[in-house]
Amino acid sequence: MKAAELFVRCLENEGVQYIFGVPGEENIDIMDALLDSKMQFITTRHEQGAAFMADVYGRLTGRAGVCLSTLGPGATNLITGVADANMDRAPMVAIAGQGATTRLHKESHQILDLVTLFAPITKYATQIREAEVIPEIVRKAFKVAQTEKPGSCFIDFPENIAAMQIAGKVPLGVQAPYTPAPADVKVAQAAHIISEARCPIVLAGNGVIRAGATQALVSFAEVLHIPVATTFMAKGAMPFSHELSLGTIGLKARDLVSCGFEQADVVICVGYDMVEYHPVQWNPGQDKAIVHIDSLPAEVDEHYIVETGVLGNIGETLRAVAWKARPHDRHPLRKLREVIVREIAELSEDQSFPVKPQKIVWDLRQMLAPDDIVISDVGAHKMWMGRMYQAERPNTCIISNGFASMGIAVPGALAAKLAFPARRVVAVTGDAGFLMNSQEIETAMRARTPFVILIWNDSEYGLITWHQLRHFGRPSHISFQNPDFVKYAESFGAKGYRVEKTSDLASILKQALTDNTVSIIDCPVDYAENMKLTQKLQDLTSPLPL
């Protein structure tokens, strides 16, 4: 068979269902071999869209999402999504065609050293130089991508190698890596520190979700009566409705939930990743005793000096420590939870227009079932979603907080719908991030993946305005004009809605969620709330007794 065919067999062997990408001249042998495969190729309108689709597909399923481009400009277009997957710890395998090995040593049309280019944004980047190594390279790429901490891998496939004949090679057997149980002595140390703590608190990160340890986390909290805060990327690891949940921590400002960390003497970090939320934010005085529970050792940071680290299977560790530690009497931060819950509902009836961020988040939550999936883009809207959207289940509120790239939500929603066709999907996005990848609406219409796009319209790079106002008191070069989003939607054959008064938002959402097509909602947002929040948090006094 041709090497390209062997390559396709290897992808099938990994259980790949979808490949997202853009065909090019240097990947024609792969494209042709795909015609004889059950894998579905989703032809996208930009390689960045394809990479974000693979990124979110990988994050939601735990199996590497796959994207494909041609050489040179096709490959460089993949980069943002590949970097995003790598820093959000989403398994991904990115593949690019390459010029023939006979012209890689010299200046030549569209040739770039792609392996070097992708090295800093992947866990493993390589070139196929001999057809016979294809089974090893593909297996290694998937294994590395899917092993803790998951991330991106990159394969560069020169066109002359893809066209070669190869005999006697078959895909390698797929083996799942096994994470061992923690050492008893470490479990005992952690249990001792937690038993002696005056006020322990759990900080749960995305690693808990990746390890499938959310139920173990809930039991741990219940058995020991320890409250849990999650990072943005761990939303839903602890159901928000649980009385021990303190919601989400993630703003670069002192927030309500920070008061719980101020009160705590011991912070139990479970599957926590400082790439998303720097420890200086919750341990500024470097005075917390940190218990690090993860499958890998902690990163070095002066604000993250661990008292003990328990390495191994996260679920098993939580069960073992819960069994050994002495339960605390009562939920010492109950009062804080009451204030957080009250704040989320504060503007639920607000009818002012443009719509306040808190009200958008509230109405969206009311309209969605616990299993429905929201993908947030990056901007001020992400801060409000991260802070106030109540998630009950893991992987139901996807936020990019490692690389935090704008443009993920629309392609991400398409991938979410492919991964979970029975669940409803909403892309929550700013007006700027929306237009960065809105070309993928066409892909979604073609792929028949219905979802809702909720645009928070402020005609600005709102998060940057917020930042500038906080630092300098005046905005600089952040305004723009938007197209007519309703007409734009209709030009794709999608549905378009405009929120003209606040009371319409819930009913428009309800309608859009049943449209069974791509529906785009243009929702004017009142970002005067951003600076009001800043002010409120600056003046915040802890609701907890000192």
Ligand X SMILES: Cc1ncc(C[n+]2csc(CCOP(=O)(O)OP(=O)(O)O)c2C)c(N)n1
Binding stretches for ligand X (CB under 6 A): 377-381, 404-407, 430-433, 456, 458, 460-464
Least distance from Mg ion to the Cβ atom of residue 429, Å: 9
Q: Which residue, 378 or 533, is less far from ligand X as judged by CB?
A: 378
Cβ-closest position to ligand X: 430
Binding-site size for Mg ion (CB under 5 A) equals 6
- Cα separation of the two ends of the chain: 72
In the complex with Mg ion, the residue whose CB is nearer, 458 or 522, is 458
CB of 134 to Mg ion, least distance (A): 45
Q: Judge if the upstream peptide bond of residue 149 is cis by omega within 30 degrees of 0.
A: yes
Q: Which is nearer to ligand X, 50 or 322 (CB)?
A: 50
The Cα–Cα gap between 217 and 222 comes to 9
Q: Which is nearer to Mg ion, 135 or 462 (CB)?
A: 462
Give residue for tokens 């609701």: 543
- Choose the one of Mg ion, ligand X, none that binds residue 437, judging by a C-beta under 5 to 8 angstroms depending on kind: none
How far from chain centre, in Å, is Cα 32?
32
Of 202, 203, 375, nearest in space to 276 by CA: 203
By CB under 5 A, residue 522 contacts Mg ion = no
> Residue by residue, what is the 3-state secondary structure of 174-193?
CCCCCCCCCCHHHHHHHHHH
Shortest Cβ distance from residue 47 to Mg ion (Å)? 25
Q: Which does 404 bind (CB under 5 to 8 A by kind): ligand X, Mg ion, none?
A: ligand X
Q: Rounded to whole angstroms, how far apart are CA atoms 55 and 51?
A: 6
For residue 462, state whether it binds Mg ion (rule: CB under 5 A): yes
- The Cα-based distances of 29 to 2, 24, 163, 407, 510 in angstroms read 8, 10, 6, 30, 45
Q: Order across the sheet with 152-158: list the strands.
A: 40-43, 18-21, 65-69, 92-98, 152-158, 124-127
Q: Would you say 402 or 433 has its CB closer to ligand X?
A: 433
357 binds Mg ion (CB under 5 A): no
* Secondary structure of residue 284 in the 3-state scheme: coil
Among ligand X, Mg ion, none, the one that 433 touches (CB under a kind-dependent 5 to 8 A) is: ligand X
Q: Which does 405 bind (CB under 5 to 8 A by kind): Mg ion, ligand X, none?
A: ligand X
CB of 224 or CB of 463, closer to Mg ion: 463
CB of 270 to ligand X, least distance (A): 27
By CB neighbour count within 10 A (0-12 exposed, 13-18 middle, 19+ buried), where does 54 fall?
buried
What H or E segment, with its residue span, contains residue 529? helix 528-538
Q: Which of residues 397-456 bind Mg ion (CB under 5 A)?
A: 430-432
Under the criterion CB under 5 A, does residue 394 sit at the interface with Mg ion? no
**Quick one: 276 or 458, whose CB is closer to Mg ion?**
458
Residue 169 region by backbone torsions, left for phi larger than 0, else alpha for psi between -120 and 50, else beta: beta
- Residue 137 binding partner per list ligand X, Mg ion, none, with a CB distance cut-off of 5 to 8 Å that depends on partner kind: none
CB of 410 to ligand X, least distance (A): 11
Residues in the site for Mg ion, rule: CB under 5 A? Answer: 430-432, 458, 460, 462
